[in-house]
Amino acid sequence: MTTANQGERIQKVLSHAGVASRREGERLLEQGRIQVNGTVVRQPGLRVTARDHIQVDGRPVDRGQRPRHLLMYKPRGCVTTLSDPQGRATVADCLPPGQTRVFPVGRLDYDSEGLLIFTNDGELAQALMRPQTHVPKTYLTKVRGRVDAAALARLRRPFTLEGRLTRPAMVEIEHRTRHTTLRITLTEGRKHQVREMCRRVSHPVLRLRRVTYGPLHDPALRPGQTRPLTSQEVQSLREMTGLEEKGVRK
């Protein structure tokens, strides 16, 4: 273990190793589940070097793990966690065999479906979830009834959710018969935001699909399928989050 500005913060090391996000790493520290060189540590700002031996729940941390980035089409009827105490299906059930130590970036509701990123790259995951990044995400949303011009205008305006104003949404009518399919693009990730928007204009959601995540779009991906991200897709995500200048690795 080191002091001052030597080494890296232990939360960053854990996230790069695919053990936990930085926030989860803080919880592991608080719970006394991390040892460095045989000693339980709880200090969030602790810095470690390559010489330090780190264990989580008694298991050594492999710090030589290569970053992995996957794109999944999350199906309806599963939770966005790697395990569930209630015994429900989880997104882990859709991961290819042998794909361990990757975690989902953000969440989709149990009844929602669509694109979801998995990675062991904690730095990128945190950057994508940072509110200030404003990564655009587009949802094809089938709602009950015929949405008129007044409701469409209301959907585009900010509204108060959990005591804070939302950012304006881009909303267009994709298809309209007895019910309406909307194309909704958000630049923030507030809990149940799309469902709440539609509820407030009296057009409850019937089906919700995330069809783009930043620059990622793959109409060929089917529910439950997963594929690796290409190097170009990872590069685009890093550029979008400011982790990397175009063509220049930081």
Residues identified as active-site: 109
Please state, in angstroms and rounded to a whole number, the distance separating the CA atoms of residues 176 and 151: 14
Q: In this structure, what token pair is assigned to residue 121?
A: 């790259």
Kindly give the pairing relationship between strand 113-119 and strand 205-213: parallel
Q: Which of 66, 124, 130, 129 is nearest to 99 (CA)?
A: 66
Q: In what order do the strands lie in the sheet with 34-36?
A: 39-40, 34-36, 54-56, 59-60
* DSSP-derived secondary structure letter, 92: G
HSE-up of residue 132 (Cα within 13 Å, Cβ side)? 3
Cα dist from 145 to 64, 159, 202, 204, whole Å:
53, 21, 9, 9
